[in-house]
Amino acid sequence: MEQELRILYEIQKADLKIMETEKKLITGPKRIEELNTELKDLKEKTEKEKIVIEELEKERRRKERELEEEKDKIKKKESKLFEVKTNKEYQALLKEIETAKEAVDKLEEDIIVLMDRIEDLKKDYQASIKHLEKRKKEIEEEKKNIELDLSTMDEEIAKFKAERERLMSSVSPELRERYNLLREKRQGIAVVNVKNGVCLGCFVNIPPQLFIEVTKNKEIIFCPNCNRIFYYIDEN
Ligand SMILES: [Zn+2]
């Protein structure tokens, strides 16, 4: 019995490894997907920032061209001042020059505001690029590790399954059936430890006399509450 109990405990260990590895087979690809999404989002963000800067640069150049045009207009009108014949024409021309000068002032102001804005956005863009490069390296590294892990997992599972089969062959058919049934009904955990008189499967206190028996690991004892098989390990 003592031998069989120890074997059951070893089988449980192999089963836990199988469960853990199978879980990783699901979480690994999920994590890779998450990382790919993160990288894609970061790339899109910087791309958008770049487009906004380019649009504003275009607007700045457009306003600079307009500014030159207005300045030319003023020069032409100013030279015309000497050619006009009547006072009325002269006054009208002065008014036009005044309006053009106001437009120049407004354009110059707009250009300054745009340049400030572009400068700020370029700083943000540089920071985004830096962050993107950093995350890209980290993500590639993490993905490489997950992929390496994943590539060996089928092999790992096969190894633990073979180990499980080998151990199972030394367990009586009744106990084997009981163990498998327990695992099915108890989220994969059929063999549990007891700590300070508490079953670590269901966290219920067991009678003190039973606890003493459990610590001996001499026979197969089931938890009175959850029916799991006790295997005592002194964790202290
Ligand atoms: Zn229990």
How far, in Å, from the CA of 163 to the mean position of ligand 1?
26
pLDDT at res. 1: 62
- Do 144 and 211 lie in a common domain? no
How far, in Å, from the CA of 171 to the mean position of ligand 1?
22
Q: What is the pLDDT of residues 70-87, one digit of tens each?
A: 999 999 999 999 999 999
Of 126, 148, 170, which residue sits at a domain end?
170
pLDDT at res. 2: 76
Q: What is the pLDDT of residues 92-116, one digit of tens each?
A: 999 999 999 999 999 999 999 999 9
Residues with beta carbon < 5 A to ion ligand 1? 199, 201-202, 223, 225-226
How far, in Å, from the CA of 204 to the mean position of ligand 1?
6
pLDDT at res. 66: 97
How far, in Å, from the CA of 228 to the mean position of ligand 1?
6
Spatial CB neighbours of 175, under 8 Å, sequence gap ≥ 6 = 4, 8, 220
Q: What is the pLDDT of residues 36-64, one digit of tens each?
A: 999 999 999 999 999 999 999 999 999 99
Beta strands in the chain (DSSP E): 191-192, 194-195, 198-199, 229-230
Assigned domain for 68 exists: yes
Range of the domain at 151: 27-170
d(CA 19, CA 14): 9
Assigned domain for 106 exists: yes
Mean pLDDT within 2-7: 90
pLDDT at res. 170: 93
Name the nearest CA neighbour of 2 among 232, 156, 159: 232
How far, in Å, from the CA of 211 to the mean position of ligand 1?
12
Assigned domain for 22 exists: no
Q: What is the pLDDT of residues 171-217, one digit of tens each?
A: 999 999 999 999 999 999 999 999 999 999 999 999 999 999 999 99
Structural domains of the chain, count: 2
- pLDDT(235) > 90: no
- Do 163 and 201 lie in a common domain? no
Of 143, 170, 197, which residue sits at a domain end?
170
Assigned domain for 98 exists: yes
- Do 106 and 93 lie in a common domain? yes
pLDDT at res. 236: 74
Assigned domain for 211 exists: yes
Please give the mean pLDDT across all residues of the chain.
96
